Amino acid sequence: MHPLVKLAKDTVEEFTKTGKTPEPPVDPVPEMKEKAGVFVSLKIKGDLRGCIGTFSPAQENIAQEIIQNAISAASQDPRFSPVEVSELEEIEYSVDILSTPEKLASKKELDPKKYGVIVKSSDRKGLLLPDLEGVDTVDDQISIASMKAGIYMGDEIELYRFEVKRYR
């Protein structure tokens, strides 16, 4: 198991069992020392169980970003009840490290398999990670990200794309 995924797993398990936030690793791997947006996804038998992240860094480093987002994915994703101890053995984890988003001139610069998208309209932003099951077209990707942010068809939007390094 990659150290980034192990940190997410250990964090969710400790938080779920004790309610405590674990400390970052004393001797972190190099990837944990950098700053980046991070998403932590939890699945059980292939079904989403929680997914929370940041598209730009909100913490001191990736290790702390993983810890905060793993806790949020397990306990604060509004689509799900908090993870229970009885579920811990079944959870599959993935950690996505995001590149810096770049503004696009056109949706033609998107590819839902390669790039994630951020749709922005005034103060609302919706994000969708790349290479998600069932999201096969750019229009699907933009539509889902817009819905997540409460952005409606016809609203003026800005598009940004980013790449991820996905660890499982």
Name all domains of the chain by residue range, CATH numbers in brackets.
3-98 (3.30.700.20), 102-167 (3.30.1490.150)
Q: Is the pLDDT of residue 153 over 90?
A: no
**Band of residue 64 on the pLDDT scale cut at 50, 70, 90:** very high
Cite the DSSP H helix spans in the chain.
3-18, 30-33, 62-75, 138-149
Closest CA to 90 of 41, 40, 43: 43
In this prediction, residues 156-167 reach a mean pLDDT of 96
Residue 65 has a pLDDT of: 98
Does 154 or 42 have the greater pLDDT score?
42
Mean pLDDT of the chain: 96
In this prediction, residues 109-134 reach a mean pLDDT of 95
